[in-house]
Amino acid sequence: MIRLSLIFAILTAGPFHPAISCEGLEIESAWVRQSPPGLSVNAAYMVLRNSGTKHLRITEVRSSNYESAMFHQTVHTEGQARMRHIPEIELGPGSTFRAEPNGAHIMLNGPKQPIKTGKSVALNFECQSGNSSSILVTVREHAQE
Ligand SMILES: [Cu+2]
């Protein structure tokens, strides 16, 4: 119960109140990294956790601020960093998926408006259950401590 109330406190601390409706899905530490000028992609990072008792599958991610969005995994092969598309995120009960710099991320392609530090980006996660969870994520230069 302590953990749940803590998460509630974090979610309600910001100016926006995210509506979370994928059963059991908790989203923490979400941020979008500001890209260097001229680059038309951004990466979003966060921790996705299944706090429920059922298997959770995220089948799609979208953003109304971008032409397209998808889960990516950075893979290092032969001294090169490549990005691989992750079609689905599977979360068993109690398990966590971390999207962090140099690892997994949500690739956001083709911003519809200029994306600047301090702005909010909308992300929508669709789950296999047919429900979806929406959050607003702030654009930052670095992860928040
Ligand atoms: Cu990517």
Q: For 74-127, what is each residue's pLDDT tens digit?
A: 998 888 989 999 999 999 999 999 999 999 999 999 999 999 999 999 999 999
What is the whole-number distance in angstroms between the Cα of residue 111 and the centre of ligand 1?
14
- Give bridge partners of residue 119 from the DSSP assignment: none
Q: DSSP 3-state assignment of 4?
A: helix
The pLDDT value recorded for residue 21 is 85
Determine the distance separating the centroid of ligand 1 and the alpha carbon of 72, expressed in angstroms: 5
Question: How many angstroms separate the alpha carbon of residue 9 from the centre of ligand 1?
Answer: 31
Which is it for the CA torsion 127, 70, 94, 145, positive or negative? negative
With bands split at pLDDT 50, 70 and 90, how would you rate the model's confidence at 143? confident
The verdict on residue 16 lying in a domain is: yes
pLDDT at 66: 98
Percent of the chain with pLDDT over 70: 86
Q: Which residues surround ligand 1, an ion (CB under 5 A)?
A: 72, 83, 107
Distance 139 CA to ligand 1 centre (A): 16
Lowest mean pLDDT among 6-20, 51-65, 112-126, 127-141: 6-20
CA 107–ligand 1 middle distance (angstroms): 5
Q: Which two tokens stand for residue 54?
A: 């059922």
pTM: predicted TM-score of the whole model, two decimal places: 0.83
CA of 67 to the centre of ligand 1 (A): 14
How many C-beta atoms lie closer than 10 Å to residue 29's C-beta?
13
Distance 66 CA to ligand 1 centre (A): 14
Mean pLDDT, to the nearest integer, of 12-37? 77
| Ligand 1 centroid distance, CA of 43 (Å) | 7
Residue 14 counted as domain residue = yes
CATH number assigned to the domain comprising residue 112: 2.60.40.1890
Q: Is residue 29 part of a domain?
A: yes
Q: What is the tally of structural domains in the chain? A: 1
Contact 115, 139 (CB under 8 A): yes
41 domain-assigned: yes
Q: Is 46 within a domain?
A: yes
41 Cα: distance to centroid of ligand 1 (angstroms): 9
Q: Mean pLDDT for the chain? A: 88
pLDDT confidence bin for 19, thresholds 50/70/90? low
How many beta carbons lie within 10 A of that of residue 14, not counting itself?
A: 12
pLDDT category, 62, cuts 50, 70, 90?
very high
* pLDDT value at residue 9: 47
**Does any domain span residue 105?**
yes
| Within-domain flag for 145 | no
Range of the domain at 10: 2-140
Q: Looking at the domain assignment, is residue 77 inside a domain? A: yes
